[in-house]
Amino acid sequence: MEIIIKRDAEEASLEAAALFRRQLREKPESVIGLATGSTPLRFYELLVEMGRERVLDTAHAVTFNLDEYVGLHPSHPQSYAAYMRAHLFNHLAVARSHIPDGMAADIPRHCAQYEEAIRDAGGIDWQLLGLGSDGHIGFNEPGSSLGSRTRLKTLTARTVADNAAHFASPGEVPRHVITMGVGTILEARRCVVLAFGAGKAHAVAAMAEGPITALVPASVLQMHPACTLIVDEAGAGALQRRDYYRWVYENKPAWQRP
């Protein structure tokens, strides 16, 4: 796992956006996995800015979102479909976008079809991930199978509380979601994880330096052949080998830089 420590969330988002632009320059028809939440908001703003400046072309890209709330129509303002329209798809064109259907009548069947659509697209080339404060990725809560596929998940009380800020009250937060599985995420050819702030520091350390365990689903990314974790100084606060990670980044050969 490559660990990049930047001064703040702005610099970290710029690094991620540069990596994304490099991916599309090298493969314009890339299949991209997308995340939601507060962490990637600046990343999406930067993509939109690059699109306006015509230094980023997403027209041939295909996207798959990680997850969606069960029971929220795509028009609901707190659905992840609405989030993606507001922050990306209303501003940048892509060839095709896919988001799990939280209103699906047959959820197991829909999940199997989502997996099939990813396979038919050739698999995910570049997967963006956030990191939950308890170490979850997507909505794969602690205890999730490390080989899991797209499926229904029940949110923990902690995740409901974390997400309640986006709803009028905690009681309005859905208790169930559809999420790509840990095994699905692991099949992406490259993963880029963003984690900012002191509140994520413990999860960052557990993910990158702790044992691989289902209690910290993100820790399985230690086994991924091409995973980049980008954190700010606060998020890196609990890492034991911070100085080494900085040394590695500062001495990267030019061809590895975005």
The residue assigned the tokens 């703040």 is 8
Cα angle: 151, vertex 72, 178; to 5 degrees: 10
Q: What residues contact residue 149 under an 8 Å CB cut-off, 6+ apart?
A: 111, 115, 180, 181, 183, 184
> Quick one: DSSP state of residue 199?
G
Closest by CA to 58, choosing from 37, 40, 31, is: 31
Question: Which one of the listed residues 101, 115, 141, 162 is annotated catalytic?
Answer: 141
Q: Tell me the C-alpha to C-alpha distance, in Å, between residue 13 and each of 61, 142, 155.
A: 20, 26, 27
136 noted as active-site residue: yes
The order of strands in the sheet holding 151-154 is 67-69, 176-179, 151-154
Catalytic residue among 87, 110, 136, 224: 136
Read off φ and ψ for residue 174, nearest 5 degrees.
-60, 150
Q: Where are the beta strands (DSSP E) in the chain?
A: 2-6, 31-34, 62-65, 67-69, 96-98, 126-130, 151-154, 176-179, 191-195, 227-232
| Among the listed residues 217, 23, 14, the one whose alpha carbon sits nearest the alpha carbon of residue 129 | 217
**Catalytic-residue membership of 141:** yes
The single-letter DSSP state of residue 164 is G
Active site residues: 67, 134, 136, 141
